[in-house]
């Protein structure tokens, strides 16, 4: 595949590794490739490119030292390999909850402030609900964001809770008007003012939620 990153648009702005920002109040476009940047056998993960073709996010799922790896977690990194967030599954969570912590080394519970939690919504409780996952920021008991649609089909949005405004959108990627790429490569658009780090962490968690074989929710349909 010779080119998978999105074409440039009229927004031109210098971005730091791991969190591209557009100064002209327009969406930030990423191409997400469900493939580790590491080439050796047994690794998986994500590589994410901005509209300029720069690597801005990485997730390399392989044996890492530290408590996060031991707990089955993942580390979201910027393009240079610096740890941005540690993502860890909540043990014995019926709703498949994951927690996000800053950095990598101090991710043990009680040693690092939890940035957010994400969990799927059970369709058994209310089949009328459109949202299929919730994001709780900090220690709040009310969701700050909800996910609506199907991540497995690469057709979903992240919205501010209680609002029609979407913070990010995931769609299938086309190589041309008539050629639709597979689901391993897809578009991620983050609206102006959205936190790209948080959104990408949610994408990683959604991928893990959808990998569960038990009671697959609408999110994974």
pLDDT at 125: 53
- Domains annotated for the chain, with CATH where assigned, are 28-212 (2.40.160.200)
pTM (two decimals): 0.78
3 state SS of 10: coil
| pLDDT for 1 beyond 50 | no
Please give the Cα distance from 112 to 205 (Å, whole number): 19
Place 209 in a pLDDT band, splitting at 50, 70 and 90. confident
Which tops the pLDDT comparison, 172 or 127? 172
Q: Kindly tell me if the per-residue pLDDT of 116 is higher than 50.
A: yes
Strands 179-180 and 174-176: antiparallel
Per-residue confidence (pLDDT) for residue 96, from 0 to 100: 84
Write the pLDDT tens digit of every residue in 75-91: 999 999 999 999 999 88
176-205 pLDDT, tens digit per residue, is: 889 999 999 999 999 988 899 999 999 999
pLDDT value for 109: 52
DSSP secondary structure string, 82-111?
A: -EEEEEEEPTT-TT--EEEEESSTT-SBTT
Q: How confident is residue 221, by pLDDT bands cut at 50, 70 and 90?
A: very low
């Amino acid at each position: 595949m010779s080119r998978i990153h999105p074409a440039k648009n009229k927004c031109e702005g210098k971005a730091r590794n791991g969190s591209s920002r557009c100064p002209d109040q327009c969406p930030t476009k990423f191409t997400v490739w469900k493939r580790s940047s590491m080439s050796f056998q047994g690794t998986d993960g994500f590589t994410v490119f901005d509209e300029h073709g720069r690597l801005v996010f990485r997730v390399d799922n392989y044996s890492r030292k530290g408590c996060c790896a031991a707990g089955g977690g993942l580390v979201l990194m910027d393009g240079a390999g610096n740890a941005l967030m540690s993502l860890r599954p909540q043990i014995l969570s019926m709703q498949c909850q994951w927690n996000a912590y800053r950095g990598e080394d101090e991710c043990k519970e009680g040693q690092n402030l939890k940035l957010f939690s994400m969990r799927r919504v059970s369709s058994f409780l209310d089949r009328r609900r459109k949202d299929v996952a919730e994001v709780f920021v900090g220690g709040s008991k009310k969701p700050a964001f909800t996910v609506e649609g199907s991540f497995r089909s690469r057709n979903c949005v992240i919205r501010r809770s209680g609002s029609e405004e979407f913070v990010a959108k995931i769609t299938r990627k086309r190589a041309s008007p008539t050629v639709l790429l597979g689901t391993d490569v897809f578009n991620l658009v983050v609206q102006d003012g959205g936190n790209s780090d948080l959104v990408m962490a949610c994408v990683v968690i959604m991928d893990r939620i959808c990998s569960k074989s038990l009671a697959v929710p609408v999110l994974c349909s």
